[in-house]
Structure 1
């Protein structure tokens, strides 16, 4: 889709990706769009968020639901903040992060972009 993806289509894409085994990272998500380094996903975790650390910078835009977002360099250093509909959350590449204690209606757009390691790497290159 060049210009817009209605939420109903994004939700359907997640269901199709999960049922076909094509969901990215094995998560309840679907890639909706790609242009250059930018990838747009729709993400609907249920119960627990098991996403891995990513090699690109990310921006989340919360569509619905409430909860807590945790981000840090290690489990011991996680910082937590409340989130809700309309909130935008940035995560630098390579940082541990997850959504916690979220409501059953939680869903978010996810934009991953930039070079591997992020635009401003948070860890030395391997």
Structure 2
């Protein structure tokens, strides 16, 4: 699976991809038919690339369906990856605690 952040612009993608974002229950699974419907809509917009983002998870058949597409190049971002990207880029998150990490000062011990 390719990692793609929409605002970074991916050199292999050229024109911006078509994006489908779904806020589904964490227990829901996106299956191959969901990917097939998304891919089926891409030619209407003359798109050859797609990004499917969900708060749920993708089944193995959905991942295989996305990888096997010849009509379009499809990237998938599931709930876990979405949460990690939000944390990494500081989107929709806030710091609750900041920890100070201490290191030994070797010069202190050299002076003893």
Same fold, judged at TM 0.5 (above): no
- Give 1 or 2: higher helix fraction: 2
Task: Give the number of the structure whose residues are more often strand, by fraction.
Answer: 1
Larger Rg over CA atoms = 2
The TM-score with structure 1 as length reference comes to: 0.26
